[in-house]
């Protein structure tokens, strides 16, 4: 499925009551145009893994707003669990000012910190499917949607998908 995973999570026992990693954007990033945080995790190298906390911090409050992955049902593709978390689930978080995004405290089913390696891939913010389709359609039709552009290969795949979807709508 995923060809070039990032080994971000080598969780080792340091004697602390927490562990994880963060993306520090240094200045606030506006992600309000997106609806979800999407990523894939391969936990096959962490025997006791059952849960992980994902935290976002905005530059306004300086507070972290987190969710536990055990509250979501991933799509399973081989060893990969693909999660899509609505940004609205990060309660009180200001999506116009993202400063930190973190993946914290890998836990066993009993809630204890667990150690080993987690692989992450395709970490990105996404829009809901229906709107994404419309945005892709607008991109193809020449509207640059605020400077966002697609590669030629992606454009060809999207054109094919849009054509198939249009054909399905006509047939219906």
Sheet with 98-107: list strands edge to edge: 20-29, 98-107, 51-58, 64-68
What value does the mean pLDDT take over residues 141-152? 41
For the stretch 82-130, pLDDT in tens is: 999 999 999 888 899 999 999 988 899 999 888 888 888 888 888 765 4
What ranges do the domains of the chain cover?
6-126, 130-171
- Going from the C-alpha of 129 to that of each of 10, 67, 84, 163, 166, the distances in angstroms are 33, 22, 11, 17, 16
For the stretch 5-14, pLDDT in tens is: 455 555 555 6
For the stretch 33-69, pLDDT in tens is: 889 999 999 999 888 899 999 999 988 776 778 999 9
- Going from the C-alpha of 54 to that of each of 7, 22, 65, 141, 170, the distances in angstroms are 17, 10, 8, 37, 42
Position 127 scores a pLDDT of 79
6-126, CATH topology level: Jelly Rolls (2.60.120)
Rounded (5°) CA angle 60-69-94: 15
pLDDT > 70: percent of the chain: 63
DSSP for 79-93, please give it: TEEEEEEEGGGSTT-
Q: Residue 4 in contact with residue 67, Cβ under 8 Å?
A: no
CA 165 vs. chain centroid, Å, equals: 26
Q: Find tokens 């009993």 and name the residue.
A: 110
């Amino acid at each position: 499925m995923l060809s070039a995973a990032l080994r971000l999570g080598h969780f080792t026992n340091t004697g602390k009551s927490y562990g994880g990693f963060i993306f520090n954007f240094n200045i606030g990033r506006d992600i309000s145009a997106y609806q979800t945080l999407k990523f894939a995790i391969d936990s096959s190298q962490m025997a006791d893994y059952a849960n992980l906390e994902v935290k976002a911090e905005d530059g306004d409050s300086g507070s972290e707003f987190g969710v536990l992955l055990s509250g979501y049902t991933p799509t399973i593709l081989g060893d990969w669990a693909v999660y899509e978390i609505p940004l609205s689930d990060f309660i009180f978080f200001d999506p116009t000012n993202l400063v930190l995004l973190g993946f914290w405290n890998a836990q066993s089913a009993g809630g204890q910190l667990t150690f080993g390696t987690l692989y992450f891939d395709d970490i990105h913010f996404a829009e809901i499917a229906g709107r994404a389709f419309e945005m892709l359609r607008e991109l193809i039709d020449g509207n640059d949607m605020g400077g966002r552009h697609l590669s030629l290969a992606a454009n060809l795949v999207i054109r094919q998908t849009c054509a198939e979807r249009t054909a399905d709508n006509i047939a219906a």
